[in-house]
Amino acid sequence: MTPESNVQPENPPTAKFSKQLDIINPHCAGLDLHKDIIWACTAPFRDGIAPEVVTFPTHTEGLQQLVSHLKTRRVTTVAMESTGVYWLMPYLTLLDADLAPCLVNPSDVKNIKGRPKSDRADSVWICRLHTYGLLRASFIAPPQILNLRNLCSTREKLIVEAGSAIQRMNNELVKMNLRLDGVLTDIGGKSGMLVMEAIIRGERSPDALYALLASQIKDRGKEKIIPLLTGRYDEFSIFSLETWYSLHKSIQQNIERVNEKIYQLLQSLPKKASASNLPPVKKNYREDYLNFPHPLRPIFYEIFGHDLTQLPGVGADLLLTLVSTVGTDLSAWPDSKHFTSWLGLAPVNRESAGYRKSGKTKRTSNPLANAFKMAAMSAARTQTYLGENARRLRIRITPKKAKVATARKLAEIVFNIIRHDMPMHVKTMEEYEMRRKKREIQHFVKSLNKFSKDGELMPEVLEEIQRQNTNFTTTVAI
């Protein structure tokens, strides 16, 4: 008998090992969603009996039939894949029916091998995985936040369309050799719109168009601007210019309508503070480019209980993306590490046999992650602790990695303030320098300890230090 055979475990397990998986959700269902048909498989599974799979149409009446079928089978939770936008209405219908819908990432299901590929098999496979608790639910915001997210998405698409209309207007101007883009950096601004409106009305004089420009633009000199405003006018190009101009004005009106609706939804969210206690605005803060009917900083202060715009790089656009993406309750994430990992800002460690192969962040299209990256670029230009740290990271690592690291740090700060009500303190560059010098001293003392004996530096080490720096004090406490 070998010595190892006599070794007994210190704490023997009370339960015996079983080859069978534990059933976590005995009464569950799995849905495979399509444009016109929903395949529904319900548990429990029985040996030797094919699982029950029923199809339902995706219209409203069909969804009601699906709910009735699931309640008849005593289903308590339902799993489904996030397929385009087809998952939204079944999810909300099941949520209203208290059937605890679980929306999973399709990649999580596909990564588990061992099944054929068909619509029926997909529903059975999803149901079986959900029975054993192997599926992880994705974060889904409350319906009110989903409505806000939909409005913000509509707003972003309208802004893109407005930019495309401006580009097409500029193309028509170039066809007539009116180089307004050489005069203005943004022809969609006030001066650019006044010039295009005058051209559409029939104004052809370069001097008259020059008079419509802002005073700071005229400082470049009239002799340089007049040649750029002299063109060869064409009837059909002017007609196209007027068409794109009317489209742009219509898009701007729709953006204003959407902004008004977004502001109304923000007002309906629960409040933690009163705007009367709003602290003074930080230097160079702007939100006029968002074109909202009312200032957003006071209402965000009421929602979060803190003026998050005091943080470097944080503005109303980031807070709007934050609310429309995750809402005001961040209890779905236990701590800031889980939150930054969900955003895709934390490195994904790939280590094997003690060798770290990679630590890159995962690719993500999360709008909140992109908003934090944009805020990190702004924070890097501030004279703050975070800005100085970002600038030093650019030197030590690549600028792209420094941007992601700063975005992660900023996301952790925002999470802790909202989730744990952490007091907000914007650290200065002086605090960063003090911390850096303290670490340098600690590193220096740690290095000296390697050459000390009985608490004192060895004589040859002292001689070398004195030779390098004659002002060094030999009475160093180790």
Domain harbouring 99, CATH code: 3.30.420.10
Is 14 a residue whose pLDDT tops 80?
no
Contact call for residues 109 and 123 (beta carbons, < 8 A): no
280 and 398 fall within a common domain: yes
* Whether 272 contacts 305, CB under 8 Å: yes
Share of the chain above pLDDT 90, in %: 52
**Would you state the pLDDT for residue 436?**
80
The reply to whether 246 and 149 lie within a common domain is: yes
- Cα 126 to Cα 254: distance, rounded to the nearest angstrom: 42
Residue 283 CA to residue 317 CA, distance in Å, equals 17
Those residues whose C-beta lies under 8 Å from the C-beta of residue 429, and which sit 6 or more positions away, are 383, 384, 385, 387, 388
pLDDT(474) > 50: no
CB 33 within 8 A of CB 86: yes
8 Å CB contact between 338 and 412 = no
Our CA dihedral for 102, 108, 109, 115, rounded to 10 degrees, sits at -160
pLDDT at 241 over 90: yes
Same domain, 284 and 411: yes
- Asked, for residue 136, whether it belongs to a domain, the answer is no
CB 302 within 8 A of CB 274: yes
Domain range enclosing 52: 28-131
460 part of a folded domain = yes
pLDDT band at 252 (very low <50, low <70, confident <90, very high): very high
Kindly tell me if the per-residue pLDDT of 293 is higher than 70.
yes
- The CA radius of gyration of the chain, in Å to the nearest whole number, is 32
**Inter-residue contact 336 to 342 (CB < 8 Å):** no
**DSSP helix/strand/coil, 218:** helix
Question: Given this model, what pLDDT does residue 464 score?
Answer: 60
pLDDT, tens only, 271-282:
998 888 888 988
Of the residues 223, 252, 268, the one at which a domain ends: 268
Residues 6+ apart with CB under 8 A from 360: 347, 348
Q: Which residues contact 411 (CB under 8 A, 6 or more apart)?
A: 336, 339, 340, 343, 345, 372
Residue 19 included in any domain: no
Domain for residue 138, yes or no? no
> How many whole angstroms separate alpha carbon 58 and alpha carbon 467?
84
- Model confidence pLDDT, tens digit, residues 380-420: 998 888 888 889 989 888 889 999 999 999 999 999 999 99
16 occurs within a structural domain: no
Same domain for 286 and 413, yes or no, is yes
List pLDDT tens digits, range 349-373: 777 777 777 778 888 888 999 999 9
Do both 62 and 179 map to the same domain? Answer: no
> For residue 446, is pLDDT > 90?
no
Confidence of residue 477 (pLDDT cuts 50, 70, 90): very low
| Tens of pLDDT, residues 215-239 | 888 888 888 999 999 989 989 999 9
Same domain flag for 120 and 78: yes
Shared domain for 264 and 279, answered yes or no, is no
What's the whole-model pTM score?
Answer: 0.81
Tell me the one-letter amino acid at 397: I
Indicate if 264 and 280 belong to the same structural domain.
no
Total domains in the chain come to 4
Residues 123/31, Cβ–Cβ less than 8 Å: yes
Residue 279, in any domain of the structure:
yes
Residues 6 or more apart whose CB falls under 8 angstroms from that of 420 comprise none
Average pLDDT over residues 243-267: 95
CA distance 159 to 291: 11
Q: With CA atoms as reference, report the closest residue to 399 among 390, 408, 407.
A: 390
**HSE-CB of 173 using CA atoms within 13 angstroms:** 28
Sign of CA dihedral 461, 464, 468, 473: positive
Whole-number mean pLDDT of the chain? 86
- Among residues 69, 101, 131, the one where a domain terminates is 131
| Residues 104 and 229 placed together within one structural domain of the fold | no
CATH number at residue 218: 1.10.287
Question: What pLDDT does residue 448 have?
Answer: 66
Buried b / exposed e across 39-65, counting CB within 10 Å, b at 16+?
bbbbbebeeeeebbbbbbebeeebbeb
pLDDT band at 453 (very low <50, low <70, confident <90, very high): low
Report pLDDT digits (tens) over 59-80. 999 999 999 999 999 999 999 9
- The angle, 0 to 180 degrees and rounded to 10, between the axes of the packed helices 235-268 and 190-201 is 140
Last residue of a domain, one of 66, 99, 131: 131
Distances (CA, A) of 250 to 199, 200, 253, 290, 405: 19, 16, 5, 17, 41
Is 317 among the domain residues?
yes
Are 282 and 404 in a shared domain? Answer: yes
**Is residue 471 scored above 80 in pLDDT?**
no
Distances 86 to 32, 83, 91, 335, 413 between C-alpha atoms, Å: 11, 6, 9, 32, 35
Residue 391 and residue 331 in one domain:
yes
Residue 21 lies in a domain: no
Residues 199, 332 share a domain: no
Q: Which residue from 99, 119, 97 is spatially nearest to 36, judged by alpha carbons?
A: 119
